[in-house]
Every structure is written in structure tokens, then in C-alpha cells.
Amino acid sequence: MENRFSCILIEDEALGIEMLQDYIGRRNDLFLVGTASQQSEIQSLLKICSPKLIFLDLVIPFGDANDFNYSKFPESSILVIISATPLNYYKGDIPFGEKHELLKPISFENFNNCVDNILRNIQLTNV
């Protein structure tokens, strides 16, 4: 049986959430644990699981009672940054760790290529 990797989605745009949930749902090797549309919701998702993949829009609202920062992401998680701004032009905080970039608008083909590359790297490191 094929491995399934848990993931979470952090995105504040309704259409972006719907599209990425669809893309994740089309893959047999990914399992979406939950979605956050504000930074204040991220911590509760991380209490549910330690996701292998985190699909992260860098620009989302803080929300209420927010004490979240990127250092709370599990070190074992792989980040997929989803943004309209390339990382080399982004001026805000960028989380540490392994990162991959998906520029908006995201096609299913680009999404698949990114995930395939990540999973191929995981398999190579587990050999």
C-alpha cells in the first residue's frame, strides 16, 4: 500500500482554499488534516498532528489571541510556500526549514510537479 502523507493548508483566500483542497484531494498520497485561514488557528492544527507537508500562504490575517510564530512548525515538516510574490522578493518573515515554492496562480500541473519532487526526495532520503 502506498504511503499517505499528512498535510495542512494555511491560506486566507476562499478560492485558494477551495482549489488547493481539491488539488490535495486528487492525490492518493496526501491526506489533508485541516485548514487555517488565520495565524491564530494554526496552533490547534499542529496539536492534531505533526504534518509532513505544510502548504503555507505567507500573508494571512493574525486572528484573535495570536501567539503563533513560525518556530512552532515541526522541524520534520516540509513547507510549500504558496504566494503571488517570489520568495526572493518577499520582505516579511520566512519560516526556517525545507521550503518549496508554488507561485500563484497555481495550476494542477505545477502543484503535482512540486509534490512529486518533494515525495521523490523523501523516498531518496529514506533509502
Q: Tell me, which fold does domain 5-125 have in CATH?
A: Rossmann fold (3.40.50)
Q: Where are the domains of the chain?
A: 5-125
Q: What is the DSSP letter of 26?
A: T
pLDDT along the chain (127 residues), means of 10: 86 96 98 94 91 94 77 94 92 90 96 97 84
pLDDT at 25: 98
Count the Cβ atoms, other than its own, within 10 Å of residue 35: 17
pLDDT at 1: 39
How far is Cα 59 from Cα 84, in angstroms, rounded to an integer?
10
